[in-house]
Amino acid sequence: DHRLILSSGQRVLIAGAGSGGDMLVRDLLRTRTGQYQPVGFADDDRRKQGKEIHGFRVFGPIESIPDLVQAHAVDLVMIAIPSANSRDMRRIVQACEKAGVPFRTLPGTQDIASGRAAIQTLREVSIDDLLGREPVSLDWKAIETGLTGRTVMVTGGGGSIGSELCRQIARLDPARLVVFENSEFNLYQIQLELEERAPKVKVQPYLGDVTDRQAVEQAFAQLQPEVVFHAAAYKHVPMLEGMVRSAVRNNVIGTRIVADAAGRHRVATFVLISTDKAVNPTNVMGASKRMAELYCQNLDAHSDTRYITVRFGNVLGSAGSVVPLFREQIARGGPVTVTHPEVTRFFMTIPEACQLIMQAAVLGRGGEIFVLDMGEPIRISYLAEQMIRLAGKTPNEDVEILFSGLRPGEKLQEELFHEKESLFGTEHAKILRARYRRVDWSGLEAKLDALARAVEGLDDGAVTAILQDLVPEFRRTQAGEAPSKVVPFEEAREK
């Protein structure tokens, strides 16, 4: 009797009596290590309740977890719903927290399908699980047509977005994957990882800086990329407020150098990775990214290369972002610092962002800005509370949350669209297409030449003035404020 064999282990309640729960209990029975003793299932499907799976009863819905934990002396809840969306995960986690019982989860469907994780690999519930959205449906045939068998370059290929793009592109069997990166350590790390994960893919590391015109030219001439994802950028808002020249040099001039090289070397598709901070920018970082958007959009009309921009909000867990910062603060016992009680941001996971970037790359005809559906904005104080709870602590009891005040250039809310952008739907429900009015090309080039001279002349005042002229909606603030109107994704789609 398997219940006798497993009787010495931790008593486990399995949340989810579908295929994931079925496979999990079979795996627990097959291993027979005695570490875990299943006691039954909790599942919302009334048709399953009262039935048995491999001899274990489906007791009741998720809301009954606290009662089941007490009635059956449960030591651990295993969440076995790989397809669960964030709303379902929050319900399960809240039920476990109410019961005072530890919980673990199976990997998500996409991780299992991609081979990143096995069905039996249990892990801790992450903030991604609670804030992520439903799995994205992609046209993989179109993506493969655009990338498989091609030479693909990713600038900033060792960064948070760039490295994940490299991972996903490597799975599509490109002819060659060029990883262009200015950090020796980051380049080494991603090269090592790609060689282990995708040994058949020809990975070409290139240690260089996007502002080094000669290095960029050499890379394009020697390696002949057909598709370029330009992810290299400075992005830290408060830091760049005091380093205008560096921000513009990297984000504007660097983009111009790479985009121009793509046109000269007849790259088929160039994709600029942008940010919601480029919309009505209140900080140098956002204004510099807006300028990069404008340049690529207008360059498209003067080149055979298709120039496409993809704009989205924050990604969970990227280097220097709020999630790793909160994690460190919680590990130290707090306090967790939030700028303002009402500050919100759009979030998506890094893999989801990269999948939608690749989808947009094959949707684009050139000159568009694609805007990713970021879902509902998340209050940062809520994010802090959830992360504290996931660490097994109580907000403002075990770990204090302190409000430090908005920093220069910060908004209460971010926007995804500019009021003068014409918005259109695409074949993909999670992606909108925006077209911006054209600007005078010769005038734009002349101003960018003047901007480059100001950067080389170390003249921050001139750099700021020219940037303001190029991006007239740029309104630099000392204390962030909410925009007058934030247009939700669904409302924008209806326009």
- Digit-coded pLDDT (tens) for 73-83: 999 999 999 87
Segment 230-257, tens digit of pLDDT: 999 999 988 999 899 999 999 999 999 9
Name the architecture of domain 8-125: 3-Layer(aba) Sandwich (3.40)
pLDDT of residue 347: 78
How far is the C-alpha of 270 from the C-alpha of 281, rounded, in Å? 24
Task: Look up residue 116 and give its amino acid.
Answer: R
Residues facing 270 on adjacent strands: 228, 307
Q: Which of 235, 277, 411, 430 is catalytic?
A: 277
Query: Does position 391 have pLDDT exceeding 90, yes or no?
Result: no
How far is the C-alpha of 347 from the C-alpha of 358, rounded, in Å? 18
pLDDT of residue 87: 82
Ordered by start, the domain boundaries in the chain are 8-125, 140-489
Segment 19-36, tens digit of pLDDT: 989 988 888 888 766 688
pLDDT of residue 487: 45
Query: Does position 406 have pLDDT exceeding 50, yes or no?
Result: yes
Query: Does position 331 have pLDDT exceeding 70, yes or no?
Result: yes
pLDDT of residue 129: 74
Judge contact between 415 and 312, C-beta under 8 A.
no
Q: At what angle do helices 460-470 and 284-299 cross, to 10 degrees?
A: 50
User: Is 277 tagged catalytic?
Assistant: yes
Judge contact between 275 and 337, C-beta under 8 A.
no
Name the architecture of domain 140-489: 3-Layer(aba) Sandwich (3.40)
| Residue 172, helix vs strand vs coil | coil
Confidence category of residue 309, pLDDT binned at 50, 70, 90: very high
Segment 159-170, tens digit of pLDDT: 999 999 999 999
pLDDT of residue 251: 98
Cα radius of gyration (the chain):
25
How far is the C-alpha of 131 from the C-alpha of 90, rounded, in Å? 9
Query: Does position 5 have pLDDT exceeding 80, yes or no?
Result: no
Segment 452-471, tens digit of pLDDT: 999 999 999 999 999 999 99
Query: Does position 327 have pLDDT exceeding 60, yes or no?
Result: yes
Judge contact between 231 and 157, C-beta under 8 A.
yes
| Residue 52, helix vs strand vs coil | strand
How far is the C-alpha of 145 from the C-alpha of 142, rounded, in Å? 5
How far is the C-alpha of 53 from the C-alpha of 63, rounded, in Å? 20
Query: Same fold for the domain at 8-125 and the one at 140-489?
Result: yes
Cis peptide before 408 (omega within 30 of 0): no
Judge contact between 17 and 41, C-beta under 8 A.
yes
More confident of the two residues 257 and 117: 257
More confident of the two residues 304 and 394: 304
Residues facing 57 on adjacent strands: 52
How far is the C-alpha of 363 from the C-alpha of 167, rounded, in Å? 21
